[in-house]
Amino acid sequence: MANATDHLWMHFTRMASYSAGEVPTIVRGEGAYVWDAQGRRYLDGLAGLFVVNAGHGRTELAEAAAKQAGELAYFPLWSYAHPKAIELAEKVASLAPGDLNRVFFTTGGSEAVEAAWKLARAYFKRTGQPNKYKVVSRYIAYHGTSMGALSITGLPGIKSDFEPLVPGGIKVPNTNFYRAPEHGDDPEAFGRWAADEIGRAIEREGPDTVAAVFLEPVQNSGGCFPPPPGYFERVREICDAYDVLLVSDEVICSWGRLGEYFGAVRYGYQPDIITTAKGITSGYAPLGAMIASERLMEPFLTETGMFAHGVTFGGHPVSCAVALANLEVFAREDLIGHVRANEGAFRSTLEKLNDLPIVGDVRGDGYFYGIELVKDKATRETFDEAESERLLRGFLSSALFQAGLYCRADDRGDPVVQLAPPLIAEQEQFDEIEQILRAVLTEAWARL
């Protein structure tokens, strides 16, 4: 629409790039596809933004929202409750691993991460360790845009405009085995090294100052870094040894993205806190949550105890109703089982692209993959900043969209194409993704 740039300030968008052209405007969705204002169809290869897990056009989710809005459109969770928040908290607790039974609702992922850091700080203050406030997280990892979450984020390019940030953020190496600085021929040894880097960082800072370690099960930013064998087992040992909380940031990795309700279950580790959002409602309403262990709730159960934190729309009745309906869809259609049954086919279909000279690495798990692009497969030489700009924003982003595939071409780290289709996707969609990528990446190589 021609007037889209007159008043709408789009997120993470170079607004000047639309000064001479129209903003792509999506008006409808059905299943794994969306349509623009001109009627063109696109395969949604990113589930919106790792969000629309149950697929587009679910009328039962829209009906659940309408029904709840007609009964109780809004009431806060500040000293009060409403039925849908109670029911959803019970459901989430029943699905979360271990004793993660305490559910604090937010409206999205950044707020959930913010709440988790605040809880870690408050918990240690109330248990006699007031100096434990710092957070360890990984290079290139994205954990959100609010000031606390941004301090945990490991992407310098999106932080510089807003510095100084909240003090206490500590960065350690991520688990990109393709570019492992140590043990590049041994995933298990690399995983041990990467986990031990967390321990070394805690030692450098002083264990009495570190409150938490924030890790995604599969790191999104940088292009889908799965954990090496034994990595999370070792991280859990380190956190226990230093009395540091392990926070599993599952804003993307929960609700079936990795073939389980939670990524921590996929990789067999027990966090102290899980942060989640996105797929909990499949995007039909905004909702997030911090899920905490019973241990972390205990200091706030005294007569005057209170976690002095909250957000106006956290646990919104309409959003909770949608989440419950969404989880009914998950159970009825066994979307978790669908991902587990088809993830191998998705991987093998994407791995066909390894015969292209521009494809260096195909990595991920479940329905969550990154394809790293290189100048030289043999040496793994990457593109410099100017080349990456021309490749990704100068060609790939628009070419893939024009070819009918919505996905992400990004260079937060090395240049990658990221894919996370709705969980209903099957071989037909996998083939379509591969065919479009093959054609566009072949053309991209020819243009280099």
* Half-sphere CA count of 26, side-chain side, radius 13 A: 16
Distance in angstroms (rounded) separating the CA atoms of residues 81 and 73: 13
What is the dihedral sign for C-alpha 201, 204, 206, 209? negative
Express as a percent the part of the chain with pLDDT over 90: 91
Q: What is the pLDDT of residues 307-352, one digit of tens each?
A: 999 999 999 999 999 999 999 999 999 999 999 999 999 999 999 9
Q: What is the pLDDT of residues 78-111, one digit of tens each?
A: 999 999 999 999 999 999 999 999 999 999 999 9
Band of residue 396 on the pLDDT scale cut at 50, 70, 90: very high
Please name the residue that has the structure tokens 């510089």.
160
Q: Average pLDDT, stretch 394-413? A: 92
Band of residue 301 on the pLDDT scale cut at 50, 70, 90: very high
Amino acid at 48: G
**Tokens standing for residue 12:** 């993470």
Task: Indicate whether this model's pTM tops 0.75.
Answer: yes
Q: Burial level of 227, CB count in 10 A (0-12/13-18/19+)?
A: buried
Q: Average pLDDT, stretch 200-206? A: 98
Q: What is the pLDDT of residues 47-73, one digit of tens each?
A: 999 999 999 999 999 999 999 999 999
Amino acid at 91: K
Output the average pLDDT for the chain: 96
Q: Average pLDDT, stretch 286-313? A: 96
Query: CA of 214: how far to CAs of 100, 217, 313, in Å?
Result: 16, 10, 25
Given phi > 0 = left and psi -120 to 50 = alpha, else beta, which region is 62? alpha
Least confident of 12-26, 264-278, 411-425: 12-26
Residue 395 pLDDT > 90: yes
Least confident of 236-240, 343-347, 357-361, 411-415: 411-415
Band of residue 2 on the pLDDT scale cut at 50, 70, 90: low
Band of residue 448 on the pLDDT scale cut at 50, 70, 90: confident
User: What is the model's pLDDT at position 13?
Assistant: 81
Where b means 16+ CB within 10 Å and e means fewer, 16-48 reads eeeeeeebbeeeebebbbbebeeeeebbbbbbb
- Among residues 26, 38, 44, 24, which one has the least CA distance to residue 422? 44
Band of residue 131 on the pLDDT scale cut at 50, 70, 90: very high
